[in-house]
Amino acid sequence: MTVVHSKLSHVTKDSSELPVGSDPFEITTQNGFLPYQLPLQKLPPAFDALSNILDDMPIEKIDGEPGLLATFKLGPLIDAGTLPDLTDAIDNLRVEGSGDVDMAAVTAAFRDYSFVASAYLLEPCWESYSTDSRNGYKLGRQILPKCIAGPLVKCAEM
């Protein structure tokens, strides 16, 4: 039992006792496998280009206007270099004061890049289907650009 407990040192702690920046999916008796805190909604300003794309990406944006996926402009926007390669910025997702990796921020970055990756790769399928569903889905994009793949890999490694 001691071995298990040492590997799950936070299992019996109240989630408010966990160190800032802990893995949001730390297993606790209070929350089980669920996150112990609400997910980070917005990344730091260094990631504004990513956040802006996410805000503009839906088929229908919050304001009711068509988004990038409605107009099939996500891929061209990414391919034009609108999203910089922020792989190195992932290293700066640190807890202020301690310098420890902020796992809540890393998890949020992984989530955001996962959404952009899926949308980027599958946009041609959606375009084919939505313009003429009789043709079904065509193939998606075969290559994920470095500006998306790099941060995803960095987050996964962390």
If asked whether residues 9 and 61 sit together in one domain, one would say: no
CA angle, corner 136, sides to 130 and 141, nearest 5?
A: 80
**Residue ranges making up the domain that contains 127:** 39-157
Does residue 145 surpass a pLDDT of 50? yes
If asked whether residues 25 and 45 sit together in one domain, one would say: no
The arithmetic mean of pLDDT across residues 48-61, rounded, is 97
Give how far Cα 132 sits from Cα of 73, 97, 135, Å: 18, 54, 6
* Residue 94 backbone phi and psi in degrees, to 5: -125, 155
Higher pLDDT residue, 75 or 135? 75
Report the distance separating Cα 59 and Cα 99, nearest Å.
Answer: 38
If asked whether residues 126 and 153 sit together in one domain, one would say: yes
Residues 6+ apart with CB under 8 A from 140: 121, 122, 123, 124, 125
Does residue 2 surpass a pLDDT of 50? no
If asked whether residues 140 and 110 sit together in one domain, one would say: yes
Residues 58 and 139: beta-carbon distance below 8 Å:
no
Residues 87 and 157: beta-carbon distance below 8 Å:
no
**Mean pLDDT for the chain?**
86
SS3 assignment, position 127: helix
Give the per-residue pLDDT at 48: 97
If asked whether residues 34 and 64 sit together in one domain, one would say: no
Question: Which pTM does this prediction carry?
Answer: 0.79
If asked whether residues 75 and 33 sit together in one domain, one would say: no
Q: Which of 12-16, 41-45, 65-69 has the highest mean pLDDT?
A: 65-69
